[in-house]
Amino acid sequence: MNLIEIKNLKKFFEISKGSFVHAVDGISIDIRQNEILGLVGESGSGKSTLGKVIAGLHGRSSGEVKYQGELLPEVYKASDFLRLSKEIQMIFQDPYSSLNPRMTVEEIIGEGLKIQGVPSAEVRKKVKEWLEKVGLQSEHMSRFPHEFSGGQRQRIGIARAMIVEPSFIVCDEPISALDVSVQAQVVNLLKELKDSFGLTLLFIAHDLSMVRYISDRIAVMYLGKIVECGDADEVFFNPQHPYSKLLIDSNPIADPQKEKLREFKSIEGEIPSPVNIPEGCRFAGRCPSASEECGKVTPQLKSIADGHEVACHLFK
Amino acid sequence: MRIINRFAVLFILLLISSCSEQGNGVDFNKRSVSVIIAAEPPTLSTVGPVSSIGIFFQGHIFEGLLRYDENNKLSGGVAEKWEITPEGATFHLRKNAKWSDGRVVTAHDFIYAWRLGASPENEYNFITFPMKNASKIAEGKLTSDKLGVTAVDDFTLKVDFEAPCAYFPALTTFTTYMPIRQDSFEKWGADKYAVDPEKMFYNGPFVLTEWKHGVSLKMTKNNYYWDKEKIWLNEINVPAITDQSTTRFNMFISKDVCMVNLEDSNSLKSALKRRLETPMKSFSSGFISYLEFNNREGRPTANKNLRKAISLVINRSDIVNKVLGIPGYKPGSTMFPSWLGGYEKLLHEEYDFNLPLESLSEAQKYLALAKEELGMEEITLTYLYSGGPSTDGMAVYIQEQLMNKLGIKVNLDKQIFKIRIAKSLSGEFDFLGGGWGPDYNDPMTFGDLLASWNQNNRGKFKNEKYDALVVQANNSVDQKERMDCFYEMHKILHEEVPVFPIFESGGIYLADPRLKGFFRNIIGSDPQLTYARIEEDE
Amino acid sequence: MSKYVFKRLLSGFFTVFFIATVTFFGMHAIPGDPLSSDKVMSEASKEALNKKYGFDKPLYEQYFIFLKNTAQGDFGMSFTKKGQDVNDIIKQGFSESAKLGVLAILFAAFGGILWGALTAKYRNKWPDYLIMIFVILGISVPSFVFASFAQLFIVFLNQELNLVFPYRGDGSFVSLLVPALVLGLGTMAFLTRLMRSSLLEVINSDFVRTAKAKGLNSWQIFKSHELRNSILPVITILGPAIASITTGSFVIETIFTIPGLGKQFVEGVQQNDYTLIMGTTVFYGSFLVLMVLVVDIVYGFVDPRIKVGESK
Ligand SMILES: Nc1ncnc2c1ncn2[C@@H]1O[C@H](COP(=O)(O)OP(=O)(O)OP(=O)(O)O)[C@@H](O)[C@H]1O
Ligand SMILES: [Mg+2]
């Protein structure tokens, strides 16, 4: 069953009169109940924007987002936020700036519950519970964010999102700002939480191996569009889209011996400006196997194997 | 929203509750008037420090031997009769003059006050100098009991003069000559006497009943006053003290005070614009303003030709009309202002003080002479002055005139009042913006200013003929002879130019049309409200 | 903390001591003294008065007498306001000035926060432009201009509408409202600008986004996130603001006839009233030193990252 259904979703930002950033440009994808969908792509490809639109932090320009079959409002009103924040939550990339420096940990974590009208004694209890669940201590309640390490802060961020017990969480690069040694801890925490609470996650990341490790499926994004989507292992070990291939090839390998030997391939060329979207396939300009057709016709996502979709003219 | 509404209601209630009754500048039923003053009197003690604002109160709460009556004519105060000779004067006190506690005012109350007034500790002691030994007492050479005043009995006061003093009777209306109750003065001491309503006794038409320091004062009719039948007013209020002329004007507009001087152009303009039903009237402040040249040796201004040159290029009426533009000011060509009385009529009606001026072209001649005598090619002078924007304008005008017409560079030295005084005393200037107000109602109050022995002669002008004329006028009781002397003095000043008179100051004021019987005085209380009354509203 | 406060108080004490000393000698170095007046007094008079007021003693001796008396909390008698203790003048004047000042600070703080928030919320839209025009006016036009104008306006309204709204301080609370508003105007304008820029920074910060994700509505976000994080500058300038408001109150006090300390101080300076000048200087100095200390301590409460009394 699909928890989230996205149809032809577009999100444009007007940066000056008549010129728009096509951050999300016609995305259709479903997120199944209780799965972790990994979302990868270069910086600026629109991953965060997609996540924020789903969480309601951005209104959308066009298209549909359905949650449990219910069409979500195009732009959230205060009441929508209040209602939907219990269902859909978001964990942010930067654990430093995303916590209010003037608030105690208790206030930060408890605020989401408090505005739902939960009595403060109850809130306090829950905050304590959740601090322990994310691996912190209840004494930490009265401290301020600046007294914690990055990993601890991200745990606070997780507790903050989890306390309302949502069924869907957008994790926007929750580990990219963290030390490698703590990344695994946080990922494992998310995995545990997912299992014990039956969560569904959209896991946005740069680090492909981490994404493969945690995700059930992976979607690859390029310039506001999804170019490939499929089972995590399938996409990781058998990427079909030329962009996915390059992206996965450029991923550093955990084994330093092998990493040293590897011939380093970077993706040549610059990602085009999201303001002036080129005609045809957006990757054509950087694609090693681009043909004439690629410069004219925009390829659509097509199923090439069971559950494996690619948007590329190489697959007819 | 509900909360905002509630606040609004609360606020409006607050406003309504705070609203006092309509302005009480004049109140017919209460027989009260309100006036506004610019500064708080430092004290109400008649032995100083003397201040014009203090005199305003003192002229209502105390009474001297003589006073100005309801027609502003000199008449009996505590004294009902008096005789004057070149040697002295005798005053016969009325027996029904009383202090505010009912005690009779006696000759001893005057003697006590005058001895204090003559003492070195009174900075105004020079005003007692017509009395025998007064100046020696002021110098500390004699004790104050040697002052030339004695009580023949409780109600007869005999004064011995140092030199003939024709104007002595008028002098007895001055603050320093008002009586003091010895018991009260001794009880509070010199510093605390008369600084609060309960710290003095009153023998004038009014008593001070309230003095909130820095805030307000109030005078109420004195029921012990001997001539109280003539006093119509019950109350004189001073509801506030501010040196902001616009605020004072606003208080008049709001009918919270009965009278206001229009001291700034804004008030004047807005008074004109409002076409107030109140007519504007002018008053003279009695002050003259002048440039005073430094005659000390070594100063270029000690040169008479330089002074003459300068005097020829400064146009009085330009300063008054174009630079200052203050209504009520008039150009003044003499150190003897036009309001002074002569032997019969006004001094200016009896003599011509507008002596012809030499032509402007003569200025160059004088300048050339001066340069030669001084041996100077370039002349640079320092102009010392203080005051506000209008005196700045005047300074700049003078600076420009001297530069354009004579090529003299003028450095402006603007100082606050007290520093200007200090610098003028030590002679740190070439010429200064000076002013003088009268101490008593006689031309001598201006005439002896430039006598060589007068400490207030800041430029150290010394002219033997002038000094002799001062002495002659002082020694005579023949008013015609004295006035001739003053006119001769004027001629000397005109020729020698130790000072260059510029204007007589005055002003425009508005008064509630219902207010009658008050006087704007040059000497004594200004305004004098003792005999004021209010006409009933129609 | 208490050690820190003690240290600050000690340094404050020396600051005030220094100010007092400089003022004392500066004041005496200026020509003229409380006794000088338009008309010259005789040498004998001068001598007598100098002796009476102790001006005949050498300056250092006068200075030590001043220090001794000040240490005992006695500023002596005013020279120009006969029979009045400087202590009483300060006490009375300050109670008036404080009422006015507190009101002005309240106006300035609330106004600054409100207008600042509005400009930030509507940045680059007409409410923003409109308010910023007033802000520029408020900063550049001196307060006495506003004061005269406000008074004239009230008088005009009273006449036209037959009201009796107080146009000057008559001792009532209502009569302080307009003067306080005018007095706080400059600070309010300054704060609006400060608040706008610091809010703009905060509005786009990640924790505001987090707050949005929590489901807070915009008022809740403003109140507990944006305001809390942008208010620091307001508190920072509160110290200087108190200083400028207490010292700037002179003109307002004379225009609105409020018998405050600012008025007394300026009169003291104009009259060379030595004791009054010294008394008010020492008082103002101590007051400001204390205020800045209080503000610093409050600062620590508002921003948990700043630990009052700990070196960085
Ligand atoms: N509020 C905004 N206003 C205008 N443009 C925006 C806004 N937010 C994002 N963009 C633009 O949209 C595009 C997509 O941004 P987005 O943050 O979604 O990328 P991303 O894939 O999350 O990148 P990263 O990996 O660096 O986080 C970028 O070009 C960005 O500049
Ligand atoms: Mg991102």
Nearest to B462 by CA among B212, B265, B294, B279: B294
CB under 8 Å to B8, separation ≥6 — which residues?
A: none
Smallest CA–CA distance, residue A202 to chain C, in Å, is 15
Averaged pLDDT for residues A229-252? 87
Q: Which DSSP helix (H) or strand (E) runs through C109?
A: helix C86-121
Is the CB of residue A23 below 6 angstroms from any atom belonging to ligand 1? yes
Render the burial of A106-139: b for 16+ CB within 10 Å, e for the rest: bbbbbbbbbbbebeeeebbebbbebbebbbbebe
| Cα–Cα distance measured from residue B119 to residue B123, given in angstroms and rounded to the nearest whole number | 9
Strand order from edge to edge, sheet including B149-153: B79-84, B88-93, B156-160, B149-153
Token couple for C167: 């146009």
Residue B49, preceding bond cis, omega within 30 degrees? yes
Do the two chains B and A touch, given a threshold of 8 Å on CB pairs and at least 3 pairs?
Answer: no
Q: Does domain A2-80+204-212+219-307 correspond to CATH entry 3.40.50.300? A: yes
Q: Residue for token digits 């681009």?
A: A290
| Cα–Cα distance measured from residue B444 to residue B453, given in angstroms and rounded to the nearest whole number | 14
Nearest to B473 by CA among B90, B165, B63, B127: B165
Are the Cβ atoms of A85 and C215 closer than 8 angstroms? yes
Are the Cβ atoms of A101 and C213 closer than 8 angstroms? no
Biggest CA pair distance of chain C: 86
pLDDT-based confidence at residue C39 (cuts at 50, 70, 90): low
Is the CB of residue A48 below 6 angstroms from any atom belonging to ligand 1? yes
Is the CB of residue A274 below 6 angstroms from any atom belonging to ligand 1? yes
Smallest CA–CA distance, residue B421 to chain C, in Å, is 7
Nearest to C207 among A55, A97, A146 (CB): A97
pLDDT-based confidence at residue C311 (cuts at 50, 70, 90): very low
Q: Say which residue, C287 or A49, is predicted with more confidence.
A: A49
Q: Which atom of ligand 1 is nearest to the CA of A42?
A: 25
Under a CB-based contact definition with an 8 Å cutoff, are residues C42 and B120 in contact? yes
> Within 13 Å and on the Cβ side, how many CA atoms surround A287?
23
pLDDT-based confidence at residue A13 (cuts at 50, 70, 90): very high
Partners of residue A217 on adjacent β-strands: A37, A231
B325: three-class secondary structure by DSSP: coil
Return the pLDDT at A268: 67
Averaged pLDDT for residues A224-232? 92
| Cα–Cα distance measured from residue B247 to residue B252, given in angstroms and rounded to the nearest whole number | 9
Return the pLDDT at B51: 86
Q: Residue for token digits 């101080």?
A: C265
Q: What is the 3-state secondary structure (H, E, C) of C129-187?
A: HHHHHHHHHHHHCCHHHHHHHHHHHHHHHHHHHCCCCCCCCCCCCHHHHHHHHHHHHHH
Residue A48 in this model has a pLDDT that exceeds 70: yes
Mention the CATH class of domain C86-302. mainly alpha
CA A206 to ligand 2 center in whole angstroms: 9
| Cα–Cα distance measured from residue C81 to residue B273, given in angstroms and rounded to the nearest whole number | 39
For chains A and C, CB pairs below 8 A equal: 73
In this structure, the strands spanning B32-34 and A302-305 are unpaired
Averaged pLDDT for residues A51-72? 92
| Cα–Cα distance measured from residue C252 to residue C233, given in angstroms and rounded to the nearest whole number | 26
Averaged pLDDT for residues A107-117? 91
> Within 13 Å and on the Cβ side, how many CA atoms surround B192?
10
Return the pLDDT at B20: 46
Taking CB atoms and an 8 Å cutoff, what residues of chain C touch A159?
Answer: none
Interface of C with B in 69-108 (CB under 8 A): 77, 80-84, 89, 92-93
**Opening angle at CA B507, ends B504 and B513, nearest 5:** 145
Token couple for C63: 């200075």
pLDDT-based confidence at residue C219 (cuts at 50, 70, 90): confident
Is the CB of residue A54 below 6 angstroms from any atom belonging to ligand 1? no
Phi, psi dihedrals of residue B502, rounded to the nearest 5°: -115, -55
Nearest to C210 among A81, A92, A164 (CB): A92
Smallest CA–CA distance, residue B47 to chain C, in Å, is 12
CA A6 to ligand 1 center in whole angstroms: 19
Partners of residue B384 on adjacent β-strands: B413, B432
Q: DSSP class of residue B276?
A: -
Render the burial of B196-208: b for 16+ CB within 10 Å, e for the rest: bbebbbbbbbbbb
CB under 8 Å to B179, separation ≥6 — which residues?
A: B62, B64, B78, B105, B109, B110, B112, B113, B203
Average pLDDT in chain C: 84
Token couple for A71: 């069409």
Phi, psi dihedrals of residue B434, rounded to the nearest 5°: -115, 170
Nearest to C210 by CA among A99, A167, A149: A99
Chains touching chain B at 3 or more Cβ pairs under 8 angstroms? C
Return the pLDDT at A11: 93
Averaged pLDDT for residues C161-174? 85
Is the CB of residue A257 below 6 angstroms from any atom belonging to ligand 1? no
Q: What is the pTM of this model?
A: 0.76
Taking CB atoms and an 8 Å cutoff, what residues of chain C touch A127?
Answer: none
CA A44 to ligand 1 center in whole angstroms: 5
Partners of residue B79 on adjacent β-strands: B93
Nearest to B247 by CA among A105, C212, C175: C175
| Cα–Cα distance measured from residue A54 to residue A64, given in angstroms and rounded to the nearest whole number | 10
Do the two chains C and B touch, given a threshold of 8 Å on CB pairs and at least 3 pairs?
Answer: yes
Burial class (CB in 10 A: 0-12, 13-18, 19+), B69: middle
The complex's ipTM works out to: 0.83
In this structure, the strands spanning B409-414 and B380-385 are parallel
Return the pLDDT at C312: 38
Are the Cβ atoms of C35 and B40 closer than 8 angstroms? no
Token couple for B348: 């200016």
| Cα–Cα distance measured from residue B352 to residue B342, given in angstroms and rounded to the nearest whole number | 12
Smallest CA–CA distance, residue A275 to chain C, in Å, is 22
Q: List chain B residues with pLDDT less than 70.
A: 1-22, 274-277, 537-538
DSSP string for chain A = -EEEEEEEEEEEEEEETTEEEEEEEEEEEEEETT-EEEEEE-TTSSHHHHHHHHHTSS--SEEEEEETTEEPPSS--HHHHHHHTTTEEEE-S-TTTTS-TTS-HHHHHHHHHHTTT--HHHHHHHHHHHHHHTT--GGGGGS-GGGS-HHHHHHHHHHHHHTT--SEEEEESTTTTS-HHHHHHHHHHHHHHHHHHT-EEEEE-S-HHHHHHH-SEEEEEETTEEEEEEEHHHHHHS--SHHHHHHHHTSPPS-HHHHHHSPP----SPPPPSSSPPSS-TTGGG-TT--TGGGTSPPPPEEEETTEEE--TT--
For chains B and C, CB pairs below 8 A equal: 160
Going B328 to B331 to B337 to B341, the CA torsion angle's sign is: negative
B533: three-class secondary structure by DSSP: strand
* B230 has a chain C CB within 8 A of its CB: no
| Cα–Cα distance measured from residue B86 to residue B160, given in angstroms and rounded to the nearest whole number | 9
| Cα–Cα distance measured from residue C109 to residue C188, given in angstroms and rounded to the nearest whole number | 6
Helix C86-121 × helix C274-302 angle, to 10°:
40
Token couple for B503: 């204007």
Residue nearest (by alpha carbon) to ligand 1 atom 26: A43
CA A207 to ligand 2 center in whole angstroms: 13
What end-to-end distance do the CA atoms of chain C give, in Å?
A: 15
Q: DSSP class of residue C123?
A: T
Q: Residue for token digits 């030339």?
A: B148
Going B255 to B261 to B266 to B269, the CA torsion angle's sign is: positive
Q: Which atom of ligand 1 is nearest to the CA of A93?
A: 27
Return the pLDDT at C3: 81
Partners of residue B210 on adjacent β-strands: B218
Q: DSSP class of residue B378?
A: S
B507: three-class secondary structure by DSSP: strand
Nearest to C48 among B140, B244, B425 (CB): B140
Nearest CA in chain A to C218: A78
Are the Cβ atoms of B124 and C39 closer than 8 angstroms? yes
Under a CB-based contact definition with an 8 Å cutoff, are residues B374 and B380 in contact? no
Q: Residue for token digits 């603050």?
A: B175
Under a CB-based contact definition with an 8 Å cutoff, are residues C239 and C295 in contact? yes
Partners of residue A41 on adjacent β-strands: A221
Average pLDDT in chain A: 87
Nearest CA in chain C to A110: C214
pLDDT-based confidence at residue A94 (cuts at 50, 70, 90): confident
**Tens digit of each residue's pLDDT (9 = 90 or more) over C46-63:** 777 788 777 888 888 889
Token couple for B534: 């209010």
Helix C86-121 × helix C232-255 angle, to 10°:
130
